[in-house]
């Protein structure tokens, strides 16, 4: 990790960060384990009401301590690290009164399932130790779900959010009962996983029955509210928008992209009906999920080869990205591709690109609709987004260069903004050679513009769930099953859906500022690859900072008055 811009005479900040991270890991052993700290592998988070209240109190206390650290004696990177902690902790205090742990069942099923899945995904310990850790976590799942039974409040929970958690819990039961034992070879270790998994599955079955009852009685709200939304944008993300001005920006980008797509279609197909062209192109799609996975793997390798040949980024030595089916328990919750990097505090550089397999029980007709959302024309841009030079390259590169706290704390406004920017720069440099591929790239971008409009409108109370589904199916070529999954995700995770295009536009603005400083004029497609490589390597190496902090870290600005939480 780099120490550029750090002062050696700032022990107070260094000690504060160490204490804060230790508290983070003790509070969430699953987080620590996922970072590669194997001493936490056997533990599962305490999900009691007392624990969540303590987390809120801790956030307020740590925020005050970081805010009290003066600028004097801090180098530029130290100030960024301090202000990152301030921004993220301020975000926690903003959402504390929302009490999401009383509303969302995934709070209780997620740590156990992800914590066990990650052990075998990365396999950074000997097999017997992995089984020991998995069995220990399986044995704690009934306790975690029992804490959820006590904490879930039907008067706060919304049926839509409960339904998502219920579907994931069904997948979780199948995972621990039927699939997890296959992670060990036949013999005693597999038998241990099967025995512990069967007991955990019984707890999941009981949890499903409980959630079904909660769903029938749920009368709460998923609308996050304008004040919270705006405060997160300004105080956590270091952006200058409020929720309504962000929606206006999303609509303006939608209109601009709509015009660009009309022009592209007119030139390539003699019609400006880009929705019709894309719907027709969606018919050229893989006919099975395995065929889809193979197509994604092929384009992932093509994207990597393109980067190696053009030198747009520096490829880390030893990195690799596998393309795999999505985990069973995540399929009811996430209907699109996703990515998981290697543990940050290890030397591993193996990433995992998960393609969107359908949940158990999906009908053949709906399966084909889901596959149509992963057509051959659209697969190239998704491979770029998730792998090269999107999430996989960014996360692998930043874990080599970013400071310790930046490997723990981050925001999707940078990470998702970067991945969407990656699509943009690959188009600029000629990776997409077919107009249909370019059109699908633009569709992926206009889809993110629509997300901004829908996400803000949902949480401002200006759009209902059904209206949001209709908006997504009419404004983008999204099939209805995928639209339902998408809108459910927006309701469940306010502000995240707006991060993609917002972050991308901010990164483009930073790039323009950088190119001007280098005297590089003309379109980005004509800029020397070495200049772009410097931009990409340096910006991605800052981590997953809020955009305002990323700009300061990248440009070397010393203006601490613009730091998150200090406006």
CB 196 within 8 A of CB 119: no
Give domain status of residue 183, yes or no: yes
Q: Which residue has the tokens 């931009």?
A: 535
The DSSP bridge partners found for residue 352 are 322, 340
Give domain status of residue 269, yes or no: yes
Whether 192 and 283 map to the same domain: the answer is no
- Final residue belonging to a domain, choices 217, 244, 261: 217
CA atoms of 2 and 381, how far apart (whole Å) = 32
CB 383 within 8 A of CB 299: yes
The DSSP bridge partners found for residue 322 are 352
Q: How many CB atoms lie within 10 A of CB 187?
A: 8
Give domain status of residue 314, yes or no: yes
For 258, 314, 367, 380, the CA distances from 374, given in Å and listed in that order, are 21, 29, 11, 10
Whether 397 and 435 map to the same domain: the answer is yes
Q: State the DSSP H helix or E strand holding residue 490, giving kind and residue range, or none if neither.
A: helix 480-492
Whether 31 and 162 map to the same domain: the answer is yes
CA atoms of 517 and 521, how far apart (whole Å) = 10
- 3-state SS class at 375: coil
- Final residue belonging to a domain, choices 217, 252, 284: 217
Q: How many CB atoms lie within 10 A of CB 474?
A: 12
Whether 239 and 163 map to the same domain: the answer is no
The model's pLDDT over 186-204, given as tens digits with 9 standing for 90+, comes to 999 999 999 999 999 999 9
The phi, psi pair for 218, rounded to 5°, reads -65, 135
Whether 55 and 164 map to the same domain: the answer is yes
Whether 406 and 285 map to the same domain: the answer is yes
- 3-state SS class at 352: strand
Give domain status of residue 63, yes or no: yes
Q: Which residue has the tokens 């530029």?
A: 76
- 3-state SS class at 546: coil
Whether 281 and 245 map to the same domain: the answer is yes
Give me the number of domains the chain comprises. 2
Q: What's the DSSP call for residue 28?
A: -
- Final residue belonging to a domain, choices 169, 184, 217: 217
pLDDT along the chain (567 residues), means of 10: 45 91 98 98 98 98 97 93 98 97 97 96 95 98 98 96 93 95 95 98 98 97 96 96 96 97 94 93 95 98 98 97 92 85 96 94 91 94 98 97 97 97 97 96 96 97 96 87 86 94 97 93 90 97 96 74 34
Joined tokens for residue 70: 């003066």
The DSSP bridge partners found for residue 354 are 324, 338
- 338-370 burial string, b = 16+ CB within 10 Å, else e? bbbbbbbbeebbbbbbbbbbbbeebeeebbbbb
Give domain status of residue 6, yes or no: no
Whether 153 and 187 map to the same domain: the answer is yes
The model's pLDDT over 443-463, given as tens digits with 9 standing for 90+, comes to 999 999 999 999 999 999 999
CB 459 within 8 A of CB 226: yes
CA atoms of 148 and 169, how far apart (whole Å) = 12
Give the end-to-end CA distance of the chain in Å, rounded to a whole number. 30
Predicted TM-score (pTM) of this structure: 0.92
CA atoms of 421 and 524, how far apart (whole Å) = 12
- 35-44 burial string, b = 16+ CB within 10 Å, else e? bbbbebbbbb
Cis peptide before 389 (omega within 30 of 0): yes
pLDDT at res. 1:
39
Joined tokens for residue 147: 């804490």
Q: How far is CA 491 from the centre of its chain?
A: 15
Whether 166 and 292 map to the same domain: the answer is no
HSE-CB at 227 with a 13 A cutoff on CA atoms is 4
For 282, 372, 401, the CA distances from 356, given in Å and listed in that order, are 16, 12, 31
H-state helical runs in 68-187: 76-95, 106-122, 127-151, 159-174
DSSP for 283-320, please give it: TS--SSHHHHHHHHHHHHHHHHHHHHHH-SSPPPTT-E
Give domain status of residue 382, yes or no: yes
Whether 177 and 247 map to the same domain: the answer is no
CA atoms of 265 and 270, how far apart (whole Å) = 7
Q: How many CB atoms lie within 10 A of CB 119?
A: 23
CA atoms of 13 and 385, how far apart (whole Å) = 35
CA atoms of 279 and 478, how far apart (whole Å) = 9
Whether 153 and 61 map to the same domain: the answer is yes
CA atoms of 272 and 130, how far apart (whole Å) = 56
Q: Which residue has the tokens 């006919």?
A: 287
Give domain status of residue 561, yes or no: no
Whether 283 and 391 map to the same domain: the answer is yes
Q: State the DSSP H helix or E strand holding residue 204, giving kind and residue range, or none if neither.
A: helix 188-217
Give domain status of residue 224, yes or no: no
For 250, 365, 419, 445, 503, the CA distances from 255, given in Å and listed in that order, are 9, 33, 22, 12, 18
pLDDT at res. 557:
60
Q: State the DSSP H helix or E strand holding residue 259, giving kind and residue range, or none if neither.
A: helix 243-269
CB 444 within 8 A of CB 378: yes
CB 321 within 8 A of CB 395: no
Among 525, 466, 493, 557, smallest CA distance to 334 is for: 493
- 3-state SS class at 194: helix
Domain of residue 105, residue span: 11-217
Q: Which residue has the tokens 């901010």?
A: 506
CB 286 within 8 A of CB 478: no
Q: State the DSSP H helix or E strand holding residue 351, giving kind and residue range, or none if neither.
A: strand 350-355
CA atoms of 381 and 393, how far apart (whole Å) = 15
Joined tokens for residue 491: 């309701």
Strand stretches in 452-504, DSSP E: none
């Amino acid at each position: 990790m780099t120490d550029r811009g750090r002062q050696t005479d700032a022990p107070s900040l260094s000690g504060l960060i160490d204490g804060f991270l230790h508290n983070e890991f003790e509070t969430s052993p699953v987080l620590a384990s996922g970072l590669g700290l194997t001493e936490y592998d056997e533990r599962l988070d305490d999900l009691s009401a007392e624990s969540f209240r303590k987390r809120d109190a801790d956030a307020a206390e740590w925020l005050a301590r970081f805010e009290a650290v003066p600028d004097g004696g801090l180098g530029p990177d130290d100030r960024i690290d301090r202000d990152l902690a301030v921004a993220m902790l301020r975000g926690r205090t903003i959402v504390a009164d929302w009490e999401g742990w009383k509303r969302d069942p995934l709070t209780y099923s997620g740590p156990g399932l992800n914590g066990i899945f990650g052990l075998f995904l990365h396999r950074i310990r000997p097999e017997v130790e992995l089984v020991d850790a998995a069995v220990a976590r399986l044995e704690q799942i009934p306790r975690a779900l029992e804490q959820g039974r006590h904490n879930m409040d039907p008067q706060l929970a919304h049926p839509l959010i409960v339904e998502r958690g219920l579907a994931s819990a069904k997948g979780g039961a199948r995972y621990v009962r039927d699939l997890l034992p296959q992670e060990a070879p036949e013999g005693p270790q597999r038998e241990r996983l099967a025995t512990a998994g069967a007991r955990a599955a019984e707890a999941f079955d009981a949890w499903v029955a409980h959630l079904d009852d909660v769903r029938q009685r749920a009368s709460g709200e998923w609308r996050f509210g304008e004040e919270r939304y705006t405060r997160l944008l300004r105080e956590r993300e270091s952006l200058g928008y409020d929720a309504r001005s962000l929606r206006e920006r999303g609509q303006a980008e939608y209109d601009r992209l709509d015009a660009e797509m009309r022009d592209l279609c007119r030139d390539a197909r003699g019609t400006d009906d880009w929705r019709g062209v894309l719907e027709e192109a969606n018919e050229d799609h893989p006919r099975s999920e395995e065929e889809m996975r193979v197509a994604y793997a092929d384009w992932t390798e093509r994207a990597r080869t393109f980067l190696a040949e053009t030198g747009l980024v520096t490829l880390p030595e030893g990195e690799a990205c596998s393309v795999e089916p999505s985990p069973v328990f995540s399929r009811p919750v996430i209907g699109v591709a996703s990515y998981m990097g290697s543990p940050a505090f290890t030397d591993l550089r193996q990433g995992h690109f998960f393609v969107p397999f359908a949940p158990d029980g999906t009908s053949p007709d709906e399966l084909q609709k889901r596959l149509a959302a992963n057509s051959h024309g659209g697969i190239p841009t998704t491979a770029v987004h998730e792998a090269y030079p999107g999430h996989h390259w960014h996360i692998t590169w930043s874990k080599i260069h970013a400071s310790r706290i930046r490997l723990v704390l981050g925001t999707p406004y940078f990470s998702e903004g970067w991945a969407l920017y990656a699509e943009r720069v690959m188009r600029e440099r000629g990776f997409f050679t077919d107009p249909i591929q370019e059109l699908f790239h633009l569709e992926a971008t206009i889809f993110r513009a629509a997300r901004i409009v829908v996400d803000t409108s949902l949480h401002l109370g200006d759009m209902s769930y059904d209206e949001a589904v209709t908006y997504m199916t009419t404004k983008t070529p999204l099939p209805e099953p995928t639209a339902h999954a998408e809108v459910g995700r927006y309701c469940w995770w306010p502000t995240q859906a707006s991060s993609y295009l917002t972050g991308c536009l901010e990164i483009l603005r930073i790039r323009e500022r950088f190119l001007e400083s280098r005297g590089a004029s003309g379109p980005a497609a004509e800029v020397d690859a070495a200049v772009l490589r410097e931009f990409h390597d340096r910006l991605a190496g800052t981590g997953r900072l809020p955009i305002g902090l990323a700009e300061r870290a990248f440009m070397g600005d010393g203006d601490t008055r613009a730091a998150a939480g200090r406006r």
